[in-house]
């Protein structure tokens, strides 16, 4: 359908999982892309697949919780493509399961920095660029765990709930200026992060009861289903 023909999009966490699946879908729909991730080799693999689909693509390898990474990515996108129309703030981490009394300051800060602060940094930098073009679309990846969580995911749950508040504030602030800001809240998705979690729990059979409580399908969905 080429619904993004002529549009310019930035995708964070593009090396794997939902970010990679979205980058490929955006490419199929005609977007020009800047892809960001900390995993250099996997990021370039995604970029290669995007280019096979005929899309122009640039990459930035860096930590999205650092202002300099965001600045590099947005400046590169504006310089190479002329602006930004779409941002998919997707990068995120899920630490090992810990109840609140066992979470260290460093663990808390790292999760909140990657999952929430990165979105604040990206939105703060990219909104002025979108306003120059008369509007744009920001999509933030939250999680079902912002609404329905499990014991022991203290920092992750807090970060994903915080994304919903940030999204609402941006949405009401910039709606009349043509910028839409929405959040998606996926359940259990077939990603490397969730496969690692299953391994930590002792195998996929241990994860299925948790999945069943949160999504009636009783199984993980694909990245394209998001």
Nearest to 179 by CA among 141, 224, 138: 138
User: How far is CA 83 from each of CA 1, 75, 77, 132, rounded to the nearest angstrom?
Assistant: 23, 9, 6, 8
156 is catalytic: yes
What is the distance between the alpha carbons of residues 129 and 133, in angstroms, rounded to a whole number?
A: 7
What kind and span of H or E run contains 112?
helix 105-112
Asked if 226 and 50 count as a contact pair (C-beta separation under 8 A), the reply is no
Greatest CA span in the chain, whole angstroms? Answer: 51
Kindly give, in sequence order, each residue whose CB lies less than 8 Å from that of residue 79, ignoring residues fewer than 6 positions away: none
Helix axes 118-132, 67-81, angle to 10 degrees: 30
What is the distance between the alpha carbons of residues 210 and 120, in angstroms, rounded to a whole number?
A: 31
Residue 57, CA atoms < 13 Å, CB-side half-sphere: 25
Active site residues: 156
């Amino acid at each position: 359908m080429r619904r993004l023909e002529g549009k310019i999009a930035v995708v964070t966490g593009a090396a794997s999982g939902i970010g990679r699946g979205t980058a490929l879908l955006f490419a199929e729909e005609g977007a020009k892309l800047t892809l960001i991730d900390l995993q250099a080799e996997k990021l370039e693999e995604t970029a290669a697949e995007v280019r096979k689909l005929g899309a122009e693509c640039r990459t930035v390898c860096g930590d999205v919780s650092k202002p300099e990474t965001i600045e590099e990515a947005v400046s590169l996108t504006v310089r190479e493509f002329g602006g930004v129309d779409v941002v998919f703030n997707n990068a995120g981490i899920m630490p090992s399961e810990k109840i609140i009394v066992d979470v260290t300051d460093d663990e808390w800060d790292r999760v909140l920095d990657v999952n929430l602060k990165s979105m604040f940094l990206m939105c703060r930098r990219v909104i002025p660029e979108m306003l120059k073009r008369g509007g744009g679309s920001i999509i933030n990846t939250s999680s079902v765990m912002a609404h329905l969580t499990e014991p022991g995911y203290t920092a992750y749950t807090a970060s994903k709930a915080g994304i919903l508040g940030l999204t609402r504030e941006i949405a009401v602030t910039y709606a009349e200026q043509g910028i839409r800001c929405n959040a998606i809240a996926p359940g259990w998705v077939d990603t490397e992060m969730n496969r690692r979690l299953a391994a930590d729990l002792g195998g996929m059979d241990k994860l299925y009861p948790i999945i069943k409580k949160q999504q009636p399908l009783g199984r993980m969905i694909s990245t394209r289903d998001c």
